[in-house]
Structure 1
Amino acid sequence: MTDGPPLMLNRAFFERKENLLKIFQLIFGFITLLVNYWCYPNQHFLYCGERYFTSSQVFQLVVFNGFCLFLTFSMILANVAGAYDAFYKTNPYVLERYLVFLQTFLYTVSFITLLVDFESNPYAQSNAFPVISTTFILLAYVIDSTLQCRRKNALGH
């Protein structure tokens, strides 16, 4: 026996602007992960190269970029698979709201950490790529947070 309806493809996924923003966050989060992997501010090299020299870079990749990318992908997959409608008793829209607030907070901390690393190292123009990409993904999550705050009904309607 099942507790709810079976999972079905959510055909109305692309009709909500929040879901299109999630797709943008997923794509740009992956770009930010790659840029932070490839070109992180480094004290020893003033050019981009895939080298781990500081714990800040690994912390950025795993805690901020990787974790937020996984959460965004999970929310997209759950929404496309119809889990929001199948498991309505758990109110996934409230969970999504809290996860978006968490991701916005994490990317704010990530941006501050990146600026501190950027300012403490010798200036190189190539190190501006992670700051720019993290700024764009932070703006995407701030927009998503404001859309979540403006939603009157916690059920997503």
Structure 2
Amino acid sequence: MTDGPPLMLNRAFFERKENLLKVLQLVFGFITFLTNYWCYPNPHFLYCGDRYFTSSQVFQLAVFNGFCLFLTISLIIANVAGAYDAFYKTNPYLLERYLVYLQTFLYSVAYIALVVDYENSPYAKAFTIPLISTTFTLLVYVVDALMQCRSRKNPIGH
């Protein structure tokens, strides 16, 4: 026995603005992950390229970028697969709202950590690439969080 309808393809995925923002978050998240991987200067290398990782870079990659990418991919897959409709008793829209707030907070902390690295670096120009990509990703998450905060009605849309 099941508690709800079976999982099926959500054909109306792109009708909600929040889902379009999820796709943008995914794209900008991958760009931010790649720029933090390939272009994160450290005291021994003043340029972008292959080198060993610093603790700040691993912190950015694993804690912020990797975790938020995992959550965003999970939300997209759950929504496309129809899990929001199949498991309606758990209110996945409320869970999505809290996860967006968490991801916005994490990217805010990531941005602050990048600014601190930027200010402590004598060659700050190399940090502009990760800083710009993190800024755009943070802005997309802030827009999504504001949209989630403003939607006071039932998140399902009824």
> What interval of TM-score do these two structures reach, taking the shorter chain for normalisation?
over 0.9
CA contact (8 A) 1:22 1:76 kept: yes
Whether 1:37 and 2:33 are equivalent positions in the alignment is no
TM-score by length of 1: 0.96
CA contact (8 A) 1:46 1:124 kept: no
CA distance in 1, matches of 2:116, 2:50: 20
TM-score by length of 2: 0.95
CA contact (8 A) 2:118 2:124 kept: no
Moved more, 60-69 or 119-128: 119-128
| CA RMSD in angstroms, aligned pairs only | 1.1
Long gaps (5+) in structure 1:
none
Partner amino acid, structure 1, of 2:142: V
CA distance in 1, matches of 2:4, 2:137: 35
Counting aligned pairs with the same residue, the percent is 75
**Equivalence for 1:64:** 64
Secondary structure, in 3 states, of the residue corresponding to 2:138?
Answer: helix
CA contact (8 A) 2:39 2:48 kept: yes
**Equivalence for 1:27:** 27
Deviation at 1:123?
1.8
Partner amino acid, structure 1, of 2:39: C
In the alignment of these two chains, the number of paired residues is: 157
Long gaps (5+) in structure 2:
none
**Equivalence for 2:143:** 143
Whether 1:107 and 2:94 are equivalent positions in the alignment is no
Deviation per CA, 1:6-28: give whole Å up to 9, x if none.
00100000111111110010011
CA contact (8 A) 1:38 1:48 kept: yes
Deviation per CA, 1:99-149: give whole Å up to 9, x if none.
000000000000000111111112243321000000000000000000000
**Equivalence for 2:12:** 12
Partner amino acid, structure 2, of 1:90: T
Partner amino acid, structure 2, of 1:145: A
Deviation at 1:54?
1.7
CA distance in 1, matches of 2:81, 2:112: 35
Moved more, 24-33 or 49-58: 49-58
CA contact (8 A) 2:103 2:141 kept: yes
